[in-house]
């Protein structure tokens, strides 16, 4: 009979995003598996399950859940000719009648799951806060069943009570704050915001960095460059950005910066390229921007690459131009782990990851001119940037390895059960 305490990991994400990747290291940890019985449950989708199984083959019980879809009624452009009051009333009706049904459905599904598993600890891997609807429901369900410690990991910026749907959630937030043992985020900034927003007790909010979960390099740097570049000599300096193509990720900044750099010094054309890996809602906009600024050949949209480690390994410098809604981006740590210098906007956890002029460059003015200056320095000083990359490896090994981070969570789990 297995008498080990039980941890139920729960995540609600439609695809295996960056915030999901640290879970792999939890599942692979020998010490964690030795000390606890692990169970994992997640929102079922074909995409998530495929991406999960590409990265890990669980040796423990896994429970895919069919949950209600994300629901937030928005103003429909088809009805713009109608007075605003009509669409606002429509949204109010939807929130008043449809949304409660979704809450009830998710509550029943999660209650049945958690009651059948009876974990000692419920570890909720959330996006921002409030994040997914099911994350808050799971915390309340665990409290109702009793004798379950709740840990909620918040992987993005918390949203304040700036609109009426969030104001309606105030009471629910107070309940969640009361029943959750610990809130954990990757950056000090997000922890401070959670403490303020949720009025957390001292020590109820903790900061623990995300660990790297980079897969093995499967393609040599030379092969990647041969595949993605024309193969001409000399090989240009390669900047790389990795992430979903959303406005908040700021990819337009590096496209505009590349144009600014070449405009100021035409001889720079051909000396560098910018690779942007990822798919998302900004794809058409970025394609149009590249054409408008005549950056074809200089900026390449790679789409979704199968092996991120290989692409990072082939680049000379990793860039992360996020503008907002960021916590502690894992991919930056992953780039540091294989010796890549970082250029990033100075927001949230990026200022904890990157030591300015030691492991990379922190850009304080979020505009294309500042980015052009940083990129120009990188192209003009490749040896200095390579040295910064080596510094990044040392920082990664001292602060961000999977063993270090998983051990911090082990300490927390044991503390909660003492």
* pLDDT score for 79: 45
Let me know if residue 106 belongs to a domain. Answer: yes
Residues 261 and 126 in one domain: no
Range of the structural domain that residue 303 is part of: 221-399
| Same domain (yes/no): 10, 124 | yes
Residue 8, strand partner residues = 39, 122
> In this structure, are 278 and 408 located in the same domain?
no
143 and 270 part of one domain: no
* 67 in the same domain as 182: yes
CATH number for the domain harbouring residue 196: 3.40.50.2000
Do 278 and 182 fall into the same domain?
no
Higher pLDDT, 87 or 48: 48
Residues 142 and 267 occupy one common structural domain: no
91 occurs within a structural domain:
yes
Categorize the per-residue pLDDT at 75 as very low, low, confident or very high, splitting at 50, 70 and 90. very low
Same-domain check for residues 390 and 412: no
Tell me: do 184 and 244 sit in the same domain: no
Say if 391 falls within a structural domain.
yes
The helix (run of H) or strand (run of E) holding residue 152 is: strand 149-154
Give the tens place of pLDDT for each residue, 261-311. 999 999 999 999 999 999 999 999 999 999 999 999 899 999 989 889 999
Structural domain count, the chain:
2
Helices (H), 169-266: 170-179, 188-198, 221-228, 251-264
Residues pairing with 39 in the sheet: 8, 61
Within this chain, do residues 181 and 273 fall inside the same structural domain, yes or no? no
Residue 25 lies in a domain: yes
Residues 134 and 48 in one domain: yes
Find the helix packing angle between 251-264 and 283-292, rounded to 10°: 10
78 pLDDT more than 80: no
Q: Assess whether 412 and 325 both reside in one domain.
A: no
pLDDT at 143: 96
Per-residue pLDDT of 211-254, as tens digits, reads 877 778 899 999 999 899 876 556 899 999 999 999 999 999 99
């Amino acid at each position: 009979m297995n008498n080990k305490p039980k941890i139920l990991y729960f995540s609600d994400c439609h695809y295996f995003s960056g915030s999901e990747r640290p879970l792999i290291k939890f599942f692979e940890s020998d010490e964690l598996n030795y000390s606890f019985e692990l169970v994992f449950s997640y929102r079922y989708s074909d995409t998530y399950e495929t991406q999960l199984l590409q990265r890990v083959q669980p040796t423990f019980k896994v429970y895919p859940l069919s949950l209600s879809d994300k629901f937030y009624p928005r103003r429909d452009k088809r009805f713009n000719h109608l007075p605003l009051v009509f669409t606002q009333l429509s949204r109010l009706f939807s929130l008043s009648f449809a949304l409660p049904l979704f809450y009830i459905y998710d509550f029943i599904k999660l209650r049945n799951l958690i009651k059948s598993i009876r974990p000692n600890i419920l570890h909720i891997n959330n996006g921002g806060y409030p994040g997914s609807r099911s994350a808050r429901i799971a915390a309340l369900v665990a409290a109702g069943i009793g004798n379950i410690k709740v840990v909620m990991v918040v992987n993005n910026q918390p949203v304040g009570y700036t609109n009426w749907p969030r104001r309606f959630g105030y009471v629910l937030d107070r309940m969640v704050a009361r029943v959750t043992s610990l809130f954990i985020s990757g950056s000090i900034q997000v922890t401070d915001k959670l403490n303020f927003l949720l009025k957390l007790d001292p020590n109820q909010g903790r900061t623990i960095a995300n660990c790297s979960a980079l897969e093995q390099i499967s393609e040599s740097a030379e092969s990647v460059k041969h595949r993605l570049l024309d193969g001409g000599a000399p090989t240009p300096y390669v900047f790389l950005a990795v992430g979903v193509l959303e406005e908040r990720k700021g990819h337009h900044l590096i496209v505009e910066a590349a144009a600014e750099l070449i405009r100021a010094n035409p001889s720079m054309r051909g000396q560098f390229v910018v690779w942007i890996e990822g798919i998302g809602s900004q794809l058409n906009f970025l394609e149009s921007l590249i054409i408008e600024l005549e950056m074809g050949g200089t900026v390449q949209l790679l789409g979704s690459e199968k092996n991120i480690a290989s692409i990072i390994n082939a680049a000379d410098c990793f860039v992360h131009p996020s503008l907002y809604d960021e916590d502690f981006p894992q991919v930056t740590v992953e780039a540091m782990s294989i010796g890549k210098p970082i250029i990033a906007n100075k927001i949230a956890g990026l200022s904890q990851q990157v030591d300015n002029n030691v492991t990379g460059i922190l850009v304080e003015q979020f505009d294309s001119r500042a980015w052009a200056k940083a990129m120009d320095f990188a192209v003009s000083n490749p040896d200095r940037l390579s040295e910064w990359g080596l510094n990044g490896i040392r920082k990664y090994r001292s602060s961000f390895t999977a063993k270090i981070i998983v051990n911090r969570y082990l300490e927390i789990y044991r503390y909660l059960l003492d």
